[in-house]
Amino acid sequence: MAQLTCKNLALGYEGKTVVKDITFSLSQGNYLCIVGENGAGKSTLMKAVLGLKKPLSGTIAHGDGVKATDVGYLPQQTEVQRDFPASVREIVLSGFQNKCGLRPFYNKREKEMVKENLKKMEVAHLEKRCFRELSGGQQQRVLLARALCAGTKMLFLDEPVSGLDPNATAEMYALIRRLNQEDGMTIVMVSHDIEAALTYATHILHLGKEVFFGTKEEYVESDIGRIFMEEQK
């Protein structure tokens, strides 16, 4: 059964359509990369699927037992976020806010999961450090640990390596792949890096004048895929 199904989605702003005819479904353990030209609606689609933006038309449905609290989200990082004056532990703990309800404190299990996720992201030694003192790569690992506290079944990533140096980029991709292959998390990643998409993804969603959804292998053989890959060289 699919964890996520989108049918005939149209997305835009103030009634003006940016992209339409988006139909795809994802099952547990899939790794979807969303690619396409700038302004094609990639981040807008992610926000719509997360319930942060209403589509102009079409349907979005979760299945296979997936609830809103099972989904983690790593948005594009802003300068304000990079300069946030909180400890690493506090940042990661805040990933549980949507699960606390009226409870004004974090429970023992949540505090244990913070340690587990920091260790998983290989930044446990930074737990007491101030977030804004970290390097860009370290900050992204901390924010990924936070996203893992927010959701354990699906992980949405919007340009997770933007602004990182090559080493930090490779390390981030490796961590995401491990979550997918070892932990079985379903990954949905917006990316401008077509090489990374073709290296790590199981499926590709291409947004633009035409919309494509299929396996990585089908995308490479498609006209849309061949043209886009040639443009990116």
User: What are the boundaries of each domain within the chain?
Assistant: 1-66+193-233
Whole-Å CA distances, 64 to 60, 108, 117, 169, 188: 14, 28, 24, 32, 17
Instruction: Report pLDDT for 169.
Output: 95
Which architecture, in CATH terms, is 1-66+193-233?
A: 3-Layer(aba) Sandwich (3.40)
Interval 31-80: pLDDT, tens: 999 999 888 899 999 999 999 999 999 999 999 999 878 899 999 876 65
Q: What angle do CA 76, 79, 84 make, to 5 degrees?
A: 100
pTM of the model as a whole: 0.92
Structure tokens given for 164: 């990182």
Q: What's the pLDDT score for residue 80?
A: 52
pLDDT higher than threshold 90 for residue 140: yes
Strand order from edge to edge, sheet including 71-74: 71-74, 154-158, 186-190, 31-36, 203-207, 212-215
Mean pLDDT of the chain: 91
- pLDDT, tens digit (0-9, with 9 covering 90-100), for 72-119: 999 987 665 667 789 999 999 988 877 666 566 778 888 999 999 999
Burial class (CB in 10 A: 0-12, 13-18, 19+), 34: buried
Closest CA to 19 of 192, 188, 207: 207
Q: Are 146 and 121 in contact (CB under 8 A)?
A: no
